[in-house]
Amino acid sequence: MPSKGFTTADVPDQSGKCFIVTGANTGIGFEVASALAVRHARVLLACRDEAKARAAMSRIRQKTPGAELAFLPLDLADLASVRSAAELAAKEPRIDVLINNAGVQGPTLKHTAQGFEQTFGVNHLGCFALTALLLPKLMETLGSRIVVTSSGQHKDAKIEWEDLNAQKTYKWLPRYGASKLANLLFVFELDRRLSAAGAPVTAVACHPGLVGTNLARGSWWGNIALSLIGLLLATPAMGAWGALHAATGRIKPGGYYGPTGFSGLRGPSGEGVPSEEARNPQFAKRLWDVSVKMTGIDPGLHPTNDPS
């Protein structure tokens, strides 16, 4: 890997490989899908809205006429949709990389189809469920990867263990930060369990830095804040570098990758530093057990301290 860090220019040829990118119709997900298509990968755009996904595919093909693309219907706010998407994706000849990119946040308390608080339900539980359901398929391909997108906002975040569904209080920025902390706790625990099982799958985390996307749509505060700090914002194409690094570059299993400039806000991708809380194995195991109970989906990987 070049010393300057990882950018789109460093993505190697991906001929013969298949990637799933959630939330690929817009923002960072679109840029990730587009960059992979340029490098000859087959890309499944996992999105809620078929019209928007196909519009994104058309835009990618304008740049890369021969792009091999497919729409994968996926609504992370509905576990039934997650199951259907996993079943459909499993029919692919191979899946090399699952890139969990999609995420939500917002000032209004909302719930998923199963009644979970939406930020935690989509950003973590949906990601957990999709990963677990696709794990058997990923296991078929030596060197496959699972990429989970976190955020610098995981630092100083706390998970409301006794109020996961926000029945007592809801403050959207702390809830978003907690969901991103959950992403890291999950990927690090997943890495430990995959390693202990001798699985041919690598789990790795990434973050985009500070990017101007529509993630804060519906939030007047978020839109104002982003406009005030516009000079520090990375473009969605730059924000994709961390995910592309994690998905295709030279990485360490269980690593965390993202921008290395401006205190991790923008710039080429390199190794990041997760918070101490994100590295807490007790919290990670607790989250794993809670996630299995809430979703009813078990990845089937023993905890590392389980001799069986």
Q: Which residues are catalytic?
A: 176
Q: Which residues contact 100 (CB under 8 A, 6 or more apart)?
A: 22, 127, 130, 131, 146, 147, 148, 149, 183
Could you tell me which residues are beta bridge partners of residue 117?
111
Question: What is the C-alpha to C-alpha distance for residues 140 and 217, in angstroms, rounded to an integer?
Answer: 38
**What SS3 state is found at 258?**
strand
Give the chain's end-to-end CA distance (angstroms, integer): 38
Instruction: Tell which residue, 29, 38, 74, has the closest CA to residue 211.
Output: 29
Q: Residue 100 corresponds to which tokens in the numbers above?
A: 């969990």
Q: Residue 37 corresponds to which tokens in the numbers above?
A: 């298509």
| Other CB atoms within 10 Å distance of the CB of residue 275 | 14
Q: Which residues contact 261 (CB under 8 A, 6 or more apart)?
A: 267, 268
Q: Which residues contact 276 (CB under 8 A, 6 or more apart)?
A: none
Amino acid at position 165, single letter: N
Question: What is the C-alpha to C-alpha distance for residues 67 and 100, in angstroms, rounded to an integer?
Answer: 21
Radius of gyration of the chain (CA): 18
